[in-house]
């Protein structure tokens, strides 16, 4: 039904945007609702041919690559020099591209310690709604020149521009890691321990809650750390994992392998204080969830046969926002949108002729 154009150059993006009527950049399809044109007149741009690492000098701790590059390709190139993207991009095994990761703005569980996507994108080139190639930021790690379009593009889901090239700050590592699995008697005790661990004076890499009451705490450090984590949590560990089993556990988390096919996946920005209320709502609805990044984000598997309205209402009440990542792209954003008049004016400037569909 929909038309797709294979994009292999910046010119192809510019032509497509200028030709219109409306375009949607699509990467590896790992977040299907974001990759499906919402209406028949929206042309899908297959960005995958626009791929490759443009510049990578490990001594610089920065990398520049085209937007259609598979995250897996970049991950491997960085790993060869014992470096990595500290925001732990999710869904890498499902074919996520760099452009898709940035446009979605979603970080993976091990971003807890160093920050999310917005903290590591240092430069961007994109085609705006007038079909013009523009850029912001640069290739150096510290830069305060001009408006920060690189940050603006994080989470913009193709509604403000078509990403063509991205520059990232990278870090050495990751080091050797271990994970403590801690089971609590109830959700409130698990969340209280999560809050204490969030203030740990040593580095915790991932801090997830598997409802109702299991904490997964990933760390890298001395041999004393497992003991210290458990002491801070006030709980003996059910298990402490390392090596392959540990890596597999987080790979599965990052791939969202626990989300069943009968569910709609929603990613919502929350906070730890909002967690108990959300978990109660999800239990009522028969939804599965995982709270990640110290309960700053909820990955929710909502039963596909039930309307999202209760979740939408709750998010709205909490002044929070969620993004629907699977299913029909009827409603990508639920809850309370931010930005108001500022957002509307930015959109008017970047996409005056509405070449990009409504979110």
Among positions 181-210, residues that touch other proteins (CB under 8 A) are 195, 198-203
Give the interface segment with other proteins, choosing from 66-74, 181-189, 230-238, 264-272 (CB under 8 A): 264-272
Q: Of 282 and 295, which has the nearer Cβ to other proteins?
A: 295
Could you tell me the two tokens for 69?
Answer: 């590059």
Burial annotation 51-84 (CB, 10 A radius, 16+ → b, else e):
beeeebeeeeebbbbbbbbbbbbbbebbeeeebb
Instruction: Quote the least distance from Cβ 81 to other proteins, whole Å.
Output: 9
From candidates 248, 252, 319, 328, binder to other proteins by CB under 8 A? 319
Could you tell me the two tokens for 5?
Answer: 């154009």
Neighbour count for residue 10 (Cβ, 10 Å): 17
Q: Of the candidates 320, 340, 150, 180, which has an alpha carbon nearest to the alpha carbon of residue 250?
A: 180
Size of the site for other proteins (CB under 8 A): 85
Which of the residues 20 through 39 are near other proteins (CB under 8 A)? none
Contact status: 148 vs other proteins (CB under 8 A): yes
Through-space distance between the first and last CA atoms of the chain, rounded to whole angstroms: 20
Could you tell me the two tokens for 169?
Answer: 């700050």
Instruction: Quote the least distance from Cβ 266 to other proteins, whole Å.
Output: 10
Give the interface segment with other proteins, choosing from 43-51, 177-185, 221-229, 244-252 (CB under 8 A): 221-229
Contact status: 325 vs other proteins (CB under 8 A): no
Instruction: Quote the least distance from Cβ 40 to other proteins, whole Å.
Output: 25
From candidates 1, 40, 145, 262, binder to other proteins by CB under 8 A? 145
| Structural contact between residues 170 and 63, judged by C-beta atoms closer than 8 angstroms | yes
Could you tell me the two tokens for 17?
Answer: 């945007």
Contact status: 225 vs other proteins (CB under 8 A): yes
**What mask, x for binding other proteins by CB under 8 A, covers residues 79 to 98?**
---x----------------
Contact status: 338 vs other proteins (CB under 8 A): yes
From candidates 243, 339, 353, 358, binder to other proteins by CB under 8 A? 339
From candidates 30, 97, 254, 320, binder to other proteins by CB under 8 A? 320
Distance from C-alpha of 122 to C-alpha of 103, rounded to nearest angstrom: 14
From candidates 41, 80, 176, 222, binder to other proteins by CB under 8 A? 222
Which of the residues 102 through 121 are near other proteins (CB under 8 A)? 105-107, 115-116, 118-119
Contact status: 327 vs other proteins (CB under 8 A): no
Which of the residues 125 through 144 are near other proteins (CB under 8 A)? 128, 132-136, 138-144
CA-to-CA dists, residue 247 to 44, 105, 179, angstroms: 35, 23, 9
Q: Of 216 and 323, which has the nearer Cβ to other proteins?
A: 323
197 φ, ψ to 5°?
-65, -30
Contact status: 264 vs other proteins (CB under 8 A): no
Instruction: Quote the least distance from Cβ 82 to other proteins, whole Å.
Output: 6
From candidates 147, 176, 245, 276, binder to other proteins by CB under 8 A? 147
Distance from C-alpha of 269 to C-alpha of 283, rounded to nearest angstrom: 18
Within its chain, how far is the Cα of 116 from the centroid? 8
Within its chain, how far is the Cα of 247 from the centroid? 19
Give the interface segment with other proteins, choosing from 2-10, 71-79, 152-160, 210-218 (CB under 8 A): 152-160
Q: Of the candidates 96, 22, 64, which has an alpha carbon nearest to the alpha carbon of residue 165?
A: 64
Instruction: Quote the least distance from Cβ 272 to other proteins, whole Å.
Output: 5
Neighbour count for residue 238 (Cβ, 10 Å): 11
Pairing of strands 214-219, 178-183: antiparallel
For residue 333, list its beta bridge partners.
Answer: 323
From candidates 8, 18, 53, 60, binder to other proteins by CB under 8 A? 60
Q: Of the candidates 293, 89, 272, which has an alpha carbon nearest to the alpha carbon of residue 205?
A: 293
Which of the residues 38 through 57 are near other proteins (CB under 8 A)? 57
Could you tell me the two tokens for 44?
Answer: 């899908």
């Amino acid at each position: 039904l929909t038309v797709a154009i294979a994009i292999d150059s910046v010119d192809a993006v510019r032509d497509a945007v200028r030709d219109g009527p409306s375009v949607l950049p699509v990467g590896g399809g790992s977040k299907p609702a974001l990759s499906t044109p919402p209406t028949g007149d929206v042309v899908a741009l297959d960005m995958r041919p626009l791929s490759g690492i443009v510049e990578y000098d490990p001594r610089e701790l920065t990398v520049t690559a085209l937007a259609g590059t598979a995250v897996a390709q970049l991950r491997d190139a960085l790993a060869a020099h014992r470096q990595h993207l500290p925001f732990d991009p999710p869904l890498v095994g499902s074919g996520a591209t760099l452009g898709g990761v940035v446009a979605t703005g979603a970080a993976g569980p091990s971003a807890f310690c160093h920050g999310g996507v917005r903290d590591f994108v240092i430069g961007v080139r994109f085609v705006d709604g007038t079909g013009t190639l523009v850029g912001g930021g640069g290739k150096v790690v510290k830069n305060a020149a001009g408006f920060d379009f690189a940050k603006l593009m994080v989470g913009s889901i193709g509604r403000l521009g078509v990403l063509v090239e991205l520059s990232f700050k990278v870090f050495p590592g990751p080091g050797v890691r271990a994970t403590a699995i801690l089971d609590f008697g109830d959700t409130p005790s698990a969340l209280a321990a999560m809050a204490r661990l969030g203030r740990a004076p040593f580095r915790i890499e991932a801090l997830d809650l598997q409802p109702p009451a299991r904490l997964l705490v990933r760390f890298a450090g001395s041999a004393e750390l497992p003991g210290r984590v458990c002491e801070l949590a006030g709980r003996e560990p059910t298990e402490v994992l390392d090596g392959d089993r540990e890596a597999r556990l987080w790979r599965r988390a990052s791939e969202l392998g626990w989300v069943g096919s009968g569910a709609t996946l929603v990613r919502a920005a929350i906070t730890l204080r909002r967690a108990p209320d959300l978990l109660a709502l999800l239990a009522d609805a028969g939804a599965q969830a995982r709270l990640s990044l110290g309960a700053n984000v909820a990955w929710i598997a909502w039963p596909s046969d039930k309307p999202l309205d209760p979740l939408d209402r709750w998010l709205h009440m909490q002044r929070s926002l969620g993004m629907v990542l699977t299913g029909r792209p009827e409603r990508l954003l639920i809850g309370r949108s931010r930005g108001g008049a500022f957002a509307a004016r930015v959109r008017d400037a970047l996409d005056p002729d509405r070449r990009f569909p409504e979110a």
